[in-house]
A and B are shown apart, each in its own frame.
Chain A
Amino acid sequence: MRGAGGFSLVEAVVALLLGGFLLHLGLTTMHRLQLHEARTRHRQDALLAERIARVVLRGELARADGTWRVGEDSVALRSYRGTGIVCGPGPATDEFTVAYRGDRLPDPRKDSVELTTETGVVSVFALRSTEPGTGACPGAAAGEETMRWSVDGLVPLDVVMARVFESGTYHLVGSALRYRIGRGGRQPLTPRVWEDERTGFGVGDAAVRLELHRRAGYGAGSSTEFLVWRRR
């Protein structure tokens, strides 16, 4: 149709403009969605890290033996690994049989043993050897493993409980909470979400607090403080 010929160009231009606008709209929306998704993921990471720090440190100090030391950015402690209920002496004075349950089996290369008597007297020994128990352990509950342990000293006569520990340190460095066994490397336990300078422990006479400040991109300006341990 001759009279309608010029409309093709106009239509094409309008279609291009409209298409470009829609493309721009789509790309902008996608970019905003990506930003929002990243921000949500980072906030989620920060919340996860705070939850891990709270659960891990509170749990460790609640189960620890009281010999821990707290610095500005670290806690050095004997980290709990399991409990053995003593069910009898061994053939030697440095041996005894336990019904054991723990996070892992005891390892004489790195573990120490805290022995508690009936009246609450606590003493600490190096664990020398462990082997499967041969006899029955009266009263052993389901899930407890009967074992015979040997330590580097005289076992108290009225010992009733033996807890296994390994030496470790929790550090707040590199924007994350990290755990270090003995003199090994620092393994991160949380995502890297905190600002190192302001994040750390506050130590009082009767309590230990932890202050966590989020770094840029993870909700900077937001901080959390909670009680890790309190004297009772």
Chain B
Amino acid sequence: MSRGDRGAVLVVTLLLVLALLGLAHALLVSAEAAYTVSRAHARVATLDAAASGLLERGRAEGWSPWMDAIVVGQTRVEPRDVAPGLAGVIRWRRLGAEGWILRADVADGSGSAAWWRRLVWIYHPDRRVASFPGVVSVGSGAMSSILGSVVPDVVPTVGTVAAPGLGPSDLGHLLAASDTLEEAGTPGPVAVAGVCVVDAPWNWGEPRDSTAPCGAYFAAAGRSGDLTVEGGVGQGVWIVDGDVVVQDGAELSGVLIVSGRLDVRGGSTLRGRVVAYGGLDLGVASVIVGSPSEAERALAAVRDRLGVAVPVHPARRLGPG
């Protein structure tokens, strides 16, 4: 090799090193791109799951006292904690007396966001009382035997319903939200030192004296199976997926929803509204008094427990905005 050619080795080596560096850089860029795509996918999936979870949380919270102050068309925005690094917002847009669009938005610090929304229904006491077709509502074709008396009010004594429940809120929704009843017992107010013991299973409030310790307490109780009420007094909303016997002079006021047969006997009295989907047996000297005001009071008092937000549209996603 002549003296003048010696520098070529260095140049060739440098070019080779540069080529290798370029190759390594290309590999790095490729790996970085794959990582960025994967991270974006993970972020989208996380935000979507968080928004879906937040929507279910909002739905489970159901009715809140502020809802009565929201007029149709108005939206209430409520921030919620979701997870570290994620900000959540629940929007309640009122569409009617009982219809709402519930929307959950979740965003992270990078500006990515996801949302879910559903059309939900939360009962309104006025609307529900007005929806009962009779003081006693029975299923189509159910046989009834009325030897006692049914006192009508603004609606006929007996009407027909398509299903036992409270509007779109079926027995499943209502039973899941209500306290569980034992098979048989005698209800009555339970107070200790002037304070109503709301945890007592057969404490269904005091319908005869609104100033008594349990005068303002209303039961929201249910049972999957038959129920027998052996005398006693109570007020509230009861949901039973089975047959019910009310006997021994029991006095109940509010709303009673029964999927099977209702047997009222022994001089017992029910006030408010009754659904006896499987039919009614009303014994001599027993009475069912139609009272929209007592039914409405009971439904209003238990809204914080039974007022779950029921999805009323079959689509899992309603679409944009």
| A interface residue numbers (CB < 8 A to B) | 59, 62-66, 80, 82-83, 85-87, 101-103, 116-120, 122, 137-141, 143-144, 158, 160-161, 163, 232
User: Total A-B pairs in contact (CB under 8 Å)?
Assistant: 88
Q: In the complex, what residue of chain A is closest to B315 when comparing beta carbons?
A: A63
Are A64 and B98 also in contact (CB < 8 A) when A83-B321, A120-B119, A139-B72 are? no
Cα distance A71–B101 in the bound complex, in angstroms: 34
Docked complex: B297-321 residues within 8 A CB-CB of A: 312-321
Instruction: Judge whether B82 is part of the interface by a CB distance below 8 angstroms.
Output: no
CB pair B321–A160 under 8 Å, yes or no, is no
Q: Which residue of A66, A141, A161, A232 contacts B95 across the interface (Cβ within 8 Å)? A: A161
Cβ distance A67 to chain B, nearest Cβ, rounded Å: 10
- Write out the residue numbers on chain A whose beta carbons fall within 8 Å of the beta carbon of B121: 118-120
Cβ distance B67 to chain A, nearest Cβ, rounded Å: 14
Cα distance A135–B75 in the bound complex, in angstroms: 19
- Write out the residue numbers on chain A whose beta carbons fall within 8 Å of the beta carbon of B312: 116, 118-120
Cα distance A122–B320 in the bound complex, in angstroms: 19
Instruction: Judge whether B97 is part of the interface by a CB distance below 8 angstroms.
Output: yes
Instruction: Judge whether B73 is part of the interface by a CB distance below 8 angstroms.
Output: yes
- Write out the residue numbers on chain A whose beta carbons fall within 8 Å of the beta carbon of B145: none
Number of chain B residues close to chain A: CB under 8 A: 27
Main secondary structure of the interface of B (DSSP, over half): loop
Cβ distance A80 to chain B, nearest Cβ, rounded Å: 6
Cβ distance B314 to chain A, nearest Cβ, rounded Å: 5
Beyond known contacts A85-B93, A118-B99, A122-B313: 17 more, CB 8 A cutoff: A63-B315, A63-B318, A64-B315, A65-B314, A83-B319, A103-B320, A116-B313, A119-B121, A120-B119, A120-B313, A138-B73, A139-B93, A141-B321, A158-B99, A160-B95, A160-B119, A161-B318
CB pair B315–A62 under 8 Å, yes or no, is yes
CB pair B313–A83 under 8 Å, yes or no, is no
What 1/0 flags go to B168-200 for Cβ under 8 Å of A?
100000000000000000000000000000000
Instruction: Judge whether B167 is part of the interface by a CB distance below 8 angstroms.
Output: yes
- Write out the residue numbers on chain B whose beta carbons fall within 8 Å of the beta carbon of A102: 319-320
Cα distance A29–B76 in the bound complex, in angstroms: 65
- Write out the residue numbers on chain B whose beta carbons fall within 8 Å of the beta carbon of A116: 119, 312-313
Are A83 and B168 also in contact (CB < 8 A) when A118-B98, A139-B73 are? no
Instruction: Judge whether B96 is part of the interface by a CB distance below 8 angstroms.
Output: yes
| B interface residue numbers (CB < 8 A to A) | 71-75, 93-99, 101, 119, 121, 167-168, 312-321
29 A-B contacts (beta carbon < 8 Å)? A63-B317, A64-B315, A65-B314, A82-B320, A86-B95, A87-B73, A102-B319, A102-B320, A116-B119, A116-B313, A118-B96, A118-B97, A118-B98, A118-B121, A119-B98, A119-B99, A119-B168, A120-B119, A120-B168, A120-B313, A138-B72, A139-B72, A139-B74, A139-B93, A160-B96, A160-B99, A160-B119, A161-B119, A163-B318
- Write out the residue numbers on chain B whose beta carbons fall within 8 Å of the beta carbon of A83: 318-321
Query: Nearest 8 CB-CB pairs, A to B?
Result: A120-B312, A139-B73, A138-B73, A118-B99, A160-B95, A101-B321, A62-B317, A83-B319
- Write out the residue numbers on chain B whose beta carbons fall within 8 Å of the beta carbon of A163: 315, 318-319
Cβ distance B73 to chain A, nearest Cβ, rounded Å: 3
Q: In the complex, what residue of chain B is closest to A163 when comparing beta carbons?
A: B319
Cβ distance B164 to chain A, nearest Cβ, rounded Å: 15
Cβ distance B291 to chain A, nearest Cβ, rounded Å: 24
Q: Which residue of A62, A138, A158 contacts B96 across the interface (Cβ within 8 Å)? A: A158
Cβ distance A139 to chain B, nearest Cβ, rounded Å: 3
Q: In the complex, what residue of chain A is closest to B321 when comparing beta carbons?
A: A101
- Write out the residue numbers on chain B whose beta carbons fall within 8 Å of the beta carbon of A120: 119, 121, 168, 312-313
CB pair A63–B319 under 8 Å, yes or no, is yes
Q: Which residue of A65, A122, A144 contacts B321 across the interface (Cβ within 8 Å)? A: A144
Q: In the complex, what residue of chain B is closest to A120 when comparing beta carbons?
A: B312
Cα distance A143–B320 in the bound complex, in angstroms: 10
CB pair A101–B320 under 8 Å, yes or no, is yes
Q: In the complex, what residue of chain A is closest to B314 when comparing beta carbons?
A: A66
- Write out the residue numbers on chain B whose beta carbons fall within 8 Å of the beta carbon of A85: 93, 95, 101
Q: In the complex, what residue of chain B is closest to A101 when comparing beta carbons?
A: B321
Are A59 and B98 also in contact (CB < 8 A) when A85-B93, A116-B119, A120-B121 are? no
- Write out the residue numbers on chain B whose beta carbons fall within 8 Å of the beta carbon of A138: 71-74
Cβ distance A85 to chain B, nearest Cβ, rounded Å: 7
- Write out the residue numbers on chain A whose beta carbons fall within 8 Å of the beta carbon of B168: 119-120
Are A82 and B75 also in contact (CB < 8 A) when A119-B121, A160-B95, A161-B313 are? no
- Write out the residue numbers on chain B whose beta carbons fall within 8 Å of the beta carbon of A137: 73
- Write out the residue numbers on chain B whose beta carbons fall within 8 Å of the beta carbon of A66: 314-315
Cα distance A140–B319 in the bound complex, in angstroms: 16
Cβ distance B160 to chain A, nearest Cβ, rounded Å: 17
